[in-house]
Amino acid sequence: MTLANNYYQFSFDKRLQLPIPKLYCEYEKMPLEVQADFELGCQKVASQIPEQIKRCEILYMDKFQLLQEAADLDGFDTLIEAMNEISSQIFDLNLLYQTIQGEYLGANVHG
């Protein structure tokens, strides 16, 4: 967990296996140096997301293969629940990526 001048924090999310940025003020109100540090942290997180999604997709496909071989309803239900959770993680990772790219890093684009 990194804290910079009480403006933002990156807290590790066990479910997504990544640090999640959280602002404690409006981005535009942060000093430029703090904005630059925050953006660097966001870029580091964003760069990890595609690999994390790939890991989830592999795990999902492994579960899918097991689902094809499931012999009983309990095994089927357990696998479906696991696949739903993995799908939810993939969705949340994509949302995090879009949030970082659009709100945090996109805020510093000058036209």
* pLDDT tens digits, one per residue of 33-87: 999 999 999 999 999 999 999 999 999 999 999 998 887 887 899 999 999 999 9
Q: What is the pTM of this model?
A: 0.83
Helix or strand run (H / E) with residue 3: strand 2-4
Q: Where are the domains of the chain?
A: 42-111
Query: Over 80: is that where the pLDDT of 91 sits?
Result: yes
12: left (phi over 0), alpha (psi -120 to 50) or beta: beta
Q: How confident is the model at residue 111 (pLDDT cuts 50, 70, 90)?
A: very low
Token pair listed for 66:
């097991």
- The pLDDT value given to residue 69: 87
